[in-house]
Structure formats: C-alpha cells, structure tokens
A and B are shown apart, each in its own frame.
Chain A
C-alpha cells in the first residue's frame, strides 16, 4: 500500500500543524480521519474536554470510559440543564461512576454547575479526591452553600491556581447562617493565576476567602458585578499584573 504524503511527515511537524487547529473541532476531526499519525496527534485535543450535562448524566462519562479516553481528558465539565435549575447532589456519584472518574488521571480543570456543596462536604475527599493532586483550575457556577462552605470546597485543592465563580444574572444575596460550623479549609491553595468572578455578590465572601485561605495572590483579574473589588485589588497589590476593566455593572457599584 502506498503511503500518502501527509502520513510521511514527521510527527513533530504534524503536531505543529495540529496545534494551530486546537480550537477548531471540525478541522481536528477531519485531521484525525486522515491517517494514523494525524489521528495520534489530534486525539488529545479532541478529547481534552469532557462535558456531561445533568440531563444525560452519566452517559458521556460512561462512553469515554468504555473507549479508554478518560486519561486524555484534562477538563471535566458537569453542566446544568438549560431550562431548569436544580442542585447537583452527591447521590449522582455512585460506586461505578466514582471508579470511572478515578480513570481521569490528568484532570487540570474542573467546571461544575449548581454544586450542592453542603451535601458534599462530609465526604468531599471521597468524591473529589481523584482530582486533588493535579487540579489547577476550578469553575463553580451558582454553587449551593454558605461562603464558608464554598471556601472550604476551594481549599480542598492544594494546587489550585485559577478560580472562576459565576452566579446567575440576578446574583445571590442570601444571609449567611450565624452558626456556620464548616471547618477551616484543609489547604491554602496558591491561587496565583486567574480570578474570574461574575455577579458573585455574596456578602463578605471576599473578606472570608482572603482570611481563610491565608491571602490571595492572583496575577490576573476579570471581575464583573462583584462588590468590594477594591479589597481584592489591595489583597493582590504585590502580584496583580493584568486587570480587566468594565465601566459599569447592573448594581452601579464598583466593577
């Protein structure tokens, strides 16, 4: 059988070509169908992100496990339903799913919607222990729980660099429980990367995060609809390198 010109290229060159297409899934898919070397070069990018929606939980996870693709996954997203909002509880993780999750040995980014943190806290390490050694980026959208519980969850990941906290457009202005007995976070993650916060308006969250995690040292900040931005700017006075500015927010407060 005669080899095509594309398959004769050295793998280094193929990797360079593929690296230009990492955000173009269709082209990546086409490349993966060209020949075996192109398939090998493109498959890590094709399966870099695994998204599982509440509605079809845990089908994509099961399929990825069946085909042995989980070690290629670097970003794991658990996304809520587009139409209804309900918390993501621990009962979604049964024994089999936990075993499949343990196959994700290279997870760097975790992105979870509506996580029911209070119900995860008693056995948080049991559910998220597989991600602890390597996780560098955490994104929580509309998490359930008090400020202290959310901070405890963040503090589980000892190598965490980037943090994204998003709230629904109306934001949450709940009163914190007076007798919150959540323990202090087990670790003080480095938090030296990017901080993205949108509409995260929980009263006292920033002060508690800075206090309980022993300070923050973000280098990049993108904050919109967040009260008391100045506290963060002062906390990162020695480290902040880039700040994304917005002129106004729906509450008319600072950034």
Chain B
C-alpha cells in the first residue's frame, strides 16, 4: 500500500472541521517517537478557510481495550482487561496528544475527541477519552489549546460495516 498524496483544501472556503481517525493519526503499536503523518500535515497546511476551527479525532469501537466489535454483530465489552493492555492504551493516548500538539503548530484548532461507536458503548468510551484528556491536563500538556478538548460521541453504525469490513485493516500502518 502506498501512501496518500495530500489533498488541496485551499478552495474550500467554508470548511469548518476536519475529521480524522485516531488510528490514522497514530497506529496503535507505534508509540515511540510519534510524529504527524505527512498526509495530515500537508492537508492541514492547505486549509485557508476562515471558518475552520475544529479537528475531530474519532475513535472506533476496536480502538478501546476491553471492547470487541465485529461487523454484523453487536459489541462485547465485558472482557477482563489486563493491566499491560491498559498501560499500552494509555501510552497510545499520550502519543496521540503529543501529535495533536504538533498538528496545532501547523494550523490552530479546537480539539474534539469523538467516540464513534455503537450506542451501548457510548458511556464507557467517552469515559476513557475524558480520562485520557484529564491525564494530559493534569500534566499541564494542554496549555497550548484555547480551551479543553471536547469529548463527544456519535452513536451510529459505520458504512464500512455494511461492507463487512473494518477500515483500519486497510490503513497503511
């Protein structure tokens, strides 16, 4: 799989938000030396819209430890979570926040963390995201943002599940 050429968003004058998948910002097992992916850096740098103010990072079911979700099946979230997995997830979130900071140097934005998950997982996943943001805030690593990251949820099924697949499998990690 080859990498993406960046998009030119310079003509989109009413662009308000860009949504990007968390795993696309930082693959789950690539936590040492996280850096902004080139496609994202270049695409963000082309934005000229005066209305632009939000980067929405969306997290899918399968990006949360303790959650299993398969196409055509409902979620299963009551698995016992090993402490090592929790530590790995925390480290991934730390890496992501480091990248968000770097992205902010390219283009200023309001950070929105969106749990794009099945309805019944909403509460649990939002709690995980709030906790990750709180850890960053406590360590005073969010001072660059104009306001605290917003944690929201978008409970709907993804179109790719209709195709019987998960998009993250196709991403170039």
User: Which of B12, B37, B162, B165 interacts with A237 by CB under 8 Å?
Assistant: B12
In the docked arrangement, what's the CA distance between A249 and B171, Å? Answer: 7
Q: Judging by beta carbons under 8 Å apart, are B7 and A166 in contact?
A: no
Q: Which residue of B lies closest to A22 (CB)?
A: B119
Interface range on chain A (Cβ under 8 Å from partner): 35 or more
Residues of B within 8 A of A244 (CB): 18-20, 58
Is B24 positioned at the interface, with any CB of A under 8 Å from its CB?
A: yes
CB pair A234 B16 closer than 8 Å: no
B18, A243: Cβ atoms closer than 8 Å:
yes
A247 x B19 contact (CB < 8 A): no
Main SS of chain B's interface residues? loop
Determine how close the nearest CB of chain A comes to the CB of B86; give it in whole angstroms. 26
Interface assignment of A81: CB less than 8 Å from any CB of chain B: no
Contact of B37 among A224, A238, A247 (CB under 8 A): A247
Between A and B, how many residue pairs show CB distances below 8 Å?
119
B8 touches A230 (CB 8 A): yes
Interface residue A240 (Cβ < 8 Å from any Cβ of B)? yes
Q: Which of A196, A242, A243 contacts B159 (CB 8 A)?
A: A196
What is B's interface to A at a CB cutoff of 8 Å?
Answer: 1-5, 7-9, 11-21, 24, 37, 39-40, 43, 51, 56, 58, 72, 118-120, 122, 155-156, 159-160, 162-165, 167, 170-172
Binding site for B on A (CB under 8 A): 22-24, 82, 139, 141, 164, 166-169, 196, 198-199, 222, 224-225, 229-230, 233-234, 236-250, 252-255
Q: What are 23 A-to-B residue pairs whose CB atoms are below 8 Å?
A: A22-B119, A23-B118, A23-B120, A23-B156, A82-B164, A139-B159, A198-B160, A222-B159, A224-B160, A224-B167, A225-B170, A229-B7, A233-B9, A238-B13, A241-B51, A242-B16, A242-B17, A243-B7, A247-B39, A248-B3, A248-B172, A249-B170, A254-B7
